[in-house]
Amino acid sequence: MGRIKITIIVAVSENGVIGRDGDMPWRLSTDLKRFRALSMGKPLVMGRKTFESVGSKPLPGRPHVIVSRSHSFDMPGVETVGSLGAALERATALAEQSGVDEVCVVGGGEIYRQAIDLADVLHVTHVETVVDGDTTFPPVDPGIFECIAETRIPAGEKDNYPTRYAIYRRRDA
């Protein structure tokens, strides 16, 4: 198999917000369903705070590699490592073992900021609103990432806002 891709999956408001008070500042059921389908079977890399924000329980069907500087952080059903590099290495090994071609970096802000320089692909749900928050995602640099697909998604019954789902690929990838 070829090289394992590093893929970032994120939902971000027009003003760059991804989180508020340890949670997401919206309810987007349609997007969560796509997240589930996109990440199913693939190793997930996430920061300790994001893991706590989803209830400190692994999402079904996906091996979890949690990044934490705390040696005591050890939760059932996940592996914890001490750096992003170690997390990507471990997740890549898990992807190879299970025959999938990518690992998914799924937040939060601190982890995205470090991982974006390493990412091959970004799946960005642009949430069409301006909201207050305390956690952000950096603007996607069009000189570095090329948008290769974009879909407008009207707000469904269980969605707070309409979204624009875009896939970006690193230009030199």
Ligand X SMILES: NC(=O)c1ccc[n+]([C@@H]2O[C@H](COP(=O)([O-])OP(=O)(O)OC[C@H]3O[C@@H](n4cnc5c(N)ncnc54)[C@H](OP(=O)(O)O)[C@@H]3O)[C@@H](O)[C@H]2O)c1
Round to whole Å and give the CA distance between 158 and 60.
Answer: 22
Its sign, for the CA torsion 100, 105, 19, 141, is negative
Residues 75-104 that bind ligand X (CB under 6 A): 82-84
Range in contact with ligand X (rule: CB under 6 A) among 21-29, 89-97, 156-164, 165-173: 21-29
Instruction: Decide whether 99 or 102 has the Cβ nearer to ligand X.
Output: 102
Task: Decide: is 69 part of the binding site for ligand X (CB under 6 A).
Answer: yes
**Residue 71: how many CA atoms within 13 Å on its side-chain side?**
0
Provide, rounded to whole angstroms, the least separation between the CB of residue 82 and ligand X.
5
Task: Decide: is 30 part of the binding site for ligand X (CB under 6 A).
Answer: no
Round to whole Å and give the CA distance between 52 and 49.
Answer: 5
Residue at 131: amino acid letter: V
User: Which residue in 8, 34, 107, 119 binds ligand X (CB under 6 A)?
Assistant: 107
The kind and range of the H/E element at 167 are strand 163-170
Range in contact with ligand X (rule: CB under 6 A) among 20-28, 57-65, 90-98, 139-147: 20-28
User: Which residue in 50, 88, 104, 105 binds ligand X (CB under 6 A)?
Assistant: 50
Task: Decide: is 24 part of the binding site for ligand X (CB under 6 A).
Answer: yes
Task: Decide: is 53 part of the binding site for ligand X (CB under 6 A).
Answer: yes
Task: Decide: is 39 part of the binding site for ligand X (CB under 6 A).
Answer: no
Nearest to 39 by CA among 11, 75, 14, 12: 11
Provide, rounded to whole angstroms, the least separation between the CB of residue 23 and ligand X.
5
Nearest to 13 by CA among 161, 171, 172, 170: 161
CA distances from 5 to 50, 118, 139, 155, 173 (A): 22, 10, 21, 30, 10
Q: What does the binding site for ligand X look like in residue numbers (CB under 6 A)?
A: 10-11, 18-19, 22-24, 47-50, 53, 67-70, 73, 82-84, 106-111, 114, 135
